[in-house]
Amino acid sequence: METNFLIQTLASIVAASTPVVLASIGETISEKSGVINLSLDGSIALSAMTGFAVAFTTGSVTLGMLAAMAVGALVALIIAFASITLRQEQVAVGFVLTMLCIELADFLGNPFVRRPGPSVSHAPIPYLSDIPILGPVLFNHNLIVYLSILSVVLAWWWTHKTQPGLKLQGVGERPESAFARGVNVHRLRFVYTVIGGALVGLAGASYSLSIKLGWSHRHTSGIGWIALAIVIFGGWSPWRVAVGCYLFGLLKALGSILQRNSAFVNVPTQIFSSAPFALMIFALLLLNSEGVDRLLALLPPRVARQLDRAIRGRSPGGLGQSFIQE
Amino acid sequence: MRKKLMGVLWGLVPILLALLFTMVVLVIVGASPLEAYRNILLGAFESPEKMADVVAACVPLILCGVGMCVTFTAGQWNVGVEGQIILGAIFATWVARNLLWPQVPVLTLMVLAGILGGALWGAVAGLLKVYGKVHEIFGGLGLNYLAQGLAIWLIFNPWKPADGATMSGTDPFPGPAWMPHFRHLRVAPLAVVLTLVAVVIAYFLLQGTRWGLELKAMGKNFRSAFTLGVPSTSRLLIAFSTCGGLAGLAGAIRCSARYGRMIPDIAGGQGYLGLLVALLAGYRPQWVPLIALFFAAVGVGSPRLELNMQLDSSLGGVLRTSVVLAVMLVNGWRMLRARQVRRAVEEAA
């Protein structure tokens, strides 16, 4: 009974974390190449709405997912064009796009509010889902959930184990040296920003077609900012980003368990739904504060260095800066 | 003369682009663009009451926009304005509920308390930036969530109305704590005067003082400014609290002049809109009122779309944000062209 409950909770955390995982991994890829896509919160909203609207009108969930990815990729393309080609400030363009996408999603999504529609069908993976514990937690979901897990593995493999992945790191870390070695920095940044954007779009689709079915006002609100914070929290490393995502999922699950507890009946639900967001962002602040520096200084230097590397990542050297390639 | 004319014409291009984009959006949902624009315009200007609403809606936008001109000048993305508005409103509400004095002292104290509350919350954002070493965007967002949580907790616990707490807020303030309106119009002259004073002060602070110059230096290159002896930390904290103070004033005005009580959504996205206003103004306070007027008119006019055309009023938001995006793209495009021309000239020479 107890273990059953635990397995069920873990499985629901894996499923519920899908959008955060997809969006954070997409953002990690884009930031690794040096481009901050700050529009996440808006991109997710607009792609969630588009994904649902397309699936609703065509009856095809696959088309919905593809449309959502196209929207995410398009927004990312605008950011890449504005910041790389037109040399506008990345953060400014991203922020404006966040708001534009949210307004667009509200306006265009109006006819689809609270309409029942299609969803991604449940598809346990044969054999794998029979493995005790691991099976029900990881392999008893639907396609989008599997894609989110796959995105972590693929992003890690690509960035750390392949030749083009090393180029990607080089473009983000030291664009000058990459360019001197004959890498087309601008083109790679375009490509990876758009790929990352497509993943963000899929994150939107995972909302409206898998975990919070349908579309309504403020359907996805706040999740994009969390994803952006988790990328920093995870130090731009796919594995640690994924850990951050599932930790956030755990926090949310704990919140809803506490909320059902009779001791907290008087606390308004808004507190429970917004507390994980605030906690997550303050965890980030704490981790980077000087207090941690002082604590680390108390430890022997070797241990301190390793611990520092384990809990805090370093941002790519060229992140957010425009590189003039001439 | 010709150059000036060209400048004006180029200024119109982004507006036309934004109108074109909004037109496409309207066509997608099968609505008539001209009819929609006509409804927004009428909704904002058809009567003295509506025009007064537009002026009243300008107030928080101008205050937040001017405040963010200060932080942007220092190179800071103060996204925590939303929370600073809430804290200002909370401080002002405390005064309104606890000090049962005549109107003049109560309103004076509410305004001062609002400024204080916002400035404190702004200073926290600054402290997190300076000593927390995390991008101010995340510090600001975290503080926004925290302020929102605090507001809801206050409304649901100590400030609960006698007939039970709801999301519609506290009991109405006692009479003296309401900022008086101009005749039957929903605009408070005191709020307008305070706002204009804030614009003038911010303008002179940024343009005519050493402090403004130092902020500009920090915004352009933080490290060089520090090396050249600008006391960056204290300047940064003052910039954050100045912006917070202005946002807090906006919060006090919103609960005293607009709602007459404290509500959970007291900030109502004004902080984020103010950020767009400041971006569009290019961080120059003198341009903020005009842009805020445009934003406010669209905001007041849009609900008419729901009444008359069964369209969602977020179309107004689409129009506002697409203007900002179009300005960025057109500016970038002009700079790109200028660079290309310069390079062609250099190559020819």
For residue A154 the two structure tokens come to 């693929």
Q: Is the pLDDT of residue B59 over 80?
A: yes
φ, ψ of residue B281 in degrees (nearest 5): -80, 0
Any domain includes B250? yes
The answer to which of A220-229, B102-111, B300-309 has the lowest mean pLDDT is A220-229
**Side chain identity at residue A9, one-letter code:** T
- Residue A47 near residue A232, CB atoms below 8 Å: no
Contact A110 B77 (CB under 8 A): no
Q: Does A157 touch chain B (CB under 8 A)?
A: no
Alpha-carbon torsion, ordered A215, A217, A222, A228, to 10 deg = 60
Q: What would the mean pLDDT of B13-41 be, rounded to a whole number?
A: 94
Contact B133 A278 (CB under 8 A): no
Its domain, for residue B74, covers 60-288
Give me Rg for the CA atoms of chain B. 22
In angstroms, what separates the C-alpha of A100 from chain B's closest C-alpha? 5
- Identify the sign of the CA torsion A229, A235, A238, A240: negative
Which of B:14-33 have CB within 8 Å of A? 25, 28-29
Q: Which residues of A touch B159 (CB under 8 A)?
A: none
Of B25, B28, B321, the CB nearest to A99: B321
Report the chain A residue with the minimal C-alpha distance to residue B29: A108
Any domain includes B272? yes
φ, ψ of residue A113 in degrees (nearest 5): -65, 125
A9 burial type by CB count under 10 A (0-12 exposed, 13-18 middle, 19+ buried): middle
Q: Hunting for tokens 């250099």 — which residue is that? A: B346
Q: Provide the phi-psi class of B88: left if phi over 0, else alpha when psi is between -120 and 50, else beta.
A: alpha
What is the three-class DSSP state of A141?
A: coil
Give the span between the Cα atoms of B281 and A194, in whole angstroms.
30
The answer to which of A91-100, A174-183, B5-14, B277-286 has the lowest mean pLDDT is B5-14
- Residue B262 near residue B154, CB atoms below 8 Å: yes
Optimal mutation site among B76, B86, B138, interface A, most CBs of chain A within 10 A: B138
For residue A18 the two structure tokens come to 């899908």
In angstroms, what separates the C-alpha of A104 from chain B's closest C-alpha? 6
Which three-class secondary structure string do you get for A1-45?
A: CHHHHHHHHHHHHHHHCHHHHHHHHHHHHHHHCCCCCCCHHHHHH
Q: Which residues of A touch B318 (CB under 8 A)?
A: 100, 103-104, 107
Q: Which residues pair with B147 in a beta bridge?
A: none
Q: pLDDT tens digits, residue range B224-264?
A: 888 877 788 888 999 999 999 999 999 999 999 999 999 99
Q: Provide the phi-psi class of B310: left if phi over 0, else alpha when psi is between -120 and 50, else beta.
A: left
Give the span between the Cα atoms of B65 and B59, in whole angstroms.
10
Give the span between the Cα atoms of A322 and A33, in whole angstroms.
11
In angstroms, what separates the C-alpha of B211 from chain A's closest C-alpha? 25
Contacts of B42 (CB under 8 A, 6+ apart): B301, B304
Mean per-residue pLDDT of chain B: 92
φ, ψ of residue A123 in degrees (nearest 5): -145, 85
CATH topology for A2-311?
A: ABC transporter involved in vitamin B12 uptake, BtuC (1.10.3470)
Q: Does A154 touch chain B (CB under 8 A)?
A: no
Which of B:140-169 have CB within 8 Å of A? 141-142, 145-146, 148-149, 152-153, 156-157, 165
Q: Hunting for tokens 């409950």 — which residue is that? A: A5
Sorting pLDDT into bands at 50, 70 and 90, what band is B159? very high
Q: Which residues pair with B244 in a beta bridge?
A: none
φ, ψ of residue B241 in degrees (nearest 5): -75, -30
A 10 A CB-CB count for A71 gives 29
- Residue B118 near residue B248, CB atoms below 8 Å: yes
In angstroms, what separates the C-alpha of A191 from chain B's closest C-alpha? 20
How many domains is chain B built from?
Answer: 1
Any domain includes B180? yes
Contact B279 A96 (CB under 8 A): yes
What is the three-class DSSP state of A122?
A: strand
Give the span between the Cα atoms of A134 and A145, in whole angstroms.
15
Domain range summary for chain A, segments of one domain joined by +: 2-311
**Side chain identity at residue A305, one-letter code:** R
Looking at residue A267, the DSSP 8-state letter turns out to be S
Look at residue A297 in the predicted model and tell me its pLDDT.
Answer: 80
Of A86, A102, A107, the CB nearest to B336: A86
> For chain A (length 326 residues), average pLDDT per consecutive 10?
83 94 97 95 97 96 97 98 93 95 95 92 90 89 95 95 92 90 92 98 95 86 89 89 92 82 70 74 73 78 78 77 76
Q: Does B86 touch chain A (CB under 8 A)?
A: no
Q: Hunting for tokens 């529009």 — which residue is that? A: A39
Optimal mutation site among A285, A312, A314, interface B, most CBs of chain B within 10 A: A285
Q: Which residues pair with A215 in a beta bridge?
A: A113
Q: Hunting for tokens 């600073």 — which residue is that? A: B84
Any domain includes B116? yes
CA angle B341, B346, B349 (to 5 degrees): 125
Q: pLDDT tens digits, residue range B244-253?
A: 999 999 999 9
A 10 A CB-CB count for A324 gives 12
A 10 A CB-CB count for A206 gives 34
How many inter-chain contacts (A to B, CB under 8 Å) are there?
A: 127
Contacts of A7 (CB under 8 A, 6+ apart): A133, A136, A137
Give the span between the Cα atoms of B218 and B226, in whole angstroms.
8
Q: Distance between terminal CA atoms of chain B?
A: 29
> How many residues does the structure list for chain A?
326
Q: What ipTM, to 2 d.p.?
A: 0.93
Look at residue A259 in the predicted model and tell me its pLDDT.
Answer: 77
**Side chain identity at residue B116, one-letter code:** L
Q: Does A181 touch chain B (CB under 8 A)?
A: no
Optimal mutation site among B72, B86, B135, interface A, most CBs of chain A within 10 A: B135
Closest to A152 measured CA to CA, from A246, A284, A43 = A246
What is the three-class DSSP state of A142?
A: strand
What is the three-class DSSP state of A215?
A: strand
Of A91, A108, A288, the CB nearest to B133: A288
Any domain includes B9? no
Any domain includes B252? yes
What is the three-class DSSP state of B165?
A: coil
Report the chain B residue with the minimal C-alpha distance to residue A272: B149
Contact B134 A232 (CB under 8 A): yes
Residue A275 vs residue B148, higher pLDDT: B148
Q: Which residues of B touch A102 (CB under 8 A)?
A: 317
Look at residue B305 in the predicted model and tell me its pLDDT.
Answer: 93
